[in-house]
Amino acid sequence: MLSMTGLLAVVRSTSYLILGSAAVEPNKRFDIILLGLTGTGKSSSGNTILTAGNPRLQPEQLFRSQSSSVPVTCRCEVKTMQKPFGKPVRVIDTPDFFHSQMKDSELQIEECKKFCRPGQCVVLLVFQLGRFTREDQELLEKLEDKFGWRIRESTIILLTHGEDLKGDWGPSIKADTELWNTIEACGSRYHVISNKSKKVKQVIDLLKKIPDFKNIFPDFRSSPINCFQS
Ligand SMILES: Nc1nc2c(ncn2[C@@H]2O[C@H](COP(=O)(O)OP(=O)(O)OP(=O)(O)O)[C@@H](O)[C@H]2O)c(=O)[nH]1
Ligand SMILES: [Mg+2]
């Protein structure tokens, strides 16, 4: 039997981790939720964030990610980062809720809603650069219908395949009118990431775009690069 001060206990519960002998108090943690259509890079982006926090993570501690013509992630999955925010942060990977092959979409949406709560999360709405489709255009409103609140107020648009853009990418992103409309709907918050890059700075720059970042993470170290790599 585990004592109250026992070692780290990892309890699996509906596929998410509860760390320690008791669940972390909800108001003491923060959730990063990856949403988007299949193949846009949700799981890879989650892995880039997790690996920036701990480069020693093993493949089985990361989300499954691969090139595929069918959805790879089929249910919500959660990984918890203990460092470096000064409070536990959960990274939530999700399936493409609107994919025709999703059998238990409503169940997965209900699961995701447990994490996606106003004021306690940031949504990373993931699109692949250069491939902003009609489905992508409709996604934000469809998600808000399902979740029942204006997730746009807590959303950063995350554009993957950033290595395809060289130099100042602002003008080419603005030139994609439909994409820019969605970015503007989310308070003009967006971030370009390359999941093929190990650069920690791209993750720190992303996190600093979280609305109200300084109040949410008052203990985030002023020199976070060292903090992330320790
Ligand atoms: N070059 C490049 N490839 C990427 C990038 N992000 C993701 N990929 C690749 O795109 C493919 C799909 O990425 P995933 O992260 O599995 O996509 P997903 O959104 O989780 O897909 P589902 O789980 O099916 O919903 C994989 O082969 C990734 O390696 C990126 O920034 N650059
Ligand atoms: Mg996935």
Predicted confidence (pLDDT) per residue in 137-171, tens digit: 999 999 999 999 999 999 999 999 999 888 788 88
Q: Residue 41 contacts by C-beta under 8 Å, 6 or more apart in sequence?
A: 65, 126, 128, 158, 160, 161, 195
Of ligand 1's atoms, which has the minimum distance to the CA of residue 44? 15
Cα 62 to averaged position of ligand 1 atoms, centre (Å): 13
* Spans of all domains in the chain: 30-54+75-228
Tell me the pLDDT tens digit for each residue of 44-79: 999 999 999 889 999 999 999 999 999 999 999 999
pLDDT at 27: 56
* Helix runs in 18-165, H state only: 42-53, 105-113, 134-147
How does DSSP classify residue 65?
-
pTM for this model (two decimals):
0.88
Q: What is the mean pLDDT of residues 102-113?
A: 96
Of ligand 1's atoms, which has the minimum distance to the CA of residue 160? 31
Cα 184 to averaged position of ligand 1 atoms, centre (Å): 24
Which residues' Cβ are closer than 6 Å to ligand 1? 36, 38-44, 65-67, 71-73, 95-96, 160-163, 194-196
Task: Provide, rounded to the nearest whole percent, the portion of the chain with pLDDT above 70.
Answer: 83
Which protein residue has the closest C-alpha to ligand 1 atom 3? Answer: 161
How does DSSP classify residue 24?
P
Q: Looking only at Cα atoms, what is the longest distance across the chain?
A: 60
> Which long-range CB contacts under 8 A does 101-104 form with residues at least 24 apart?
101/70, 101/71, 102/71, 102/74, 104/75
Domain 30-54+75-228: CATH architecture, name and number where available:
3-Layer(aba) Sandwich (3.40)
Q: What is the mean pLDDT of residues 223-227?
A: 49
Among 50, 135, 195, which residue has the most ligand 1 atoms within 8 Å of its CB, making it the best to mutate?
195
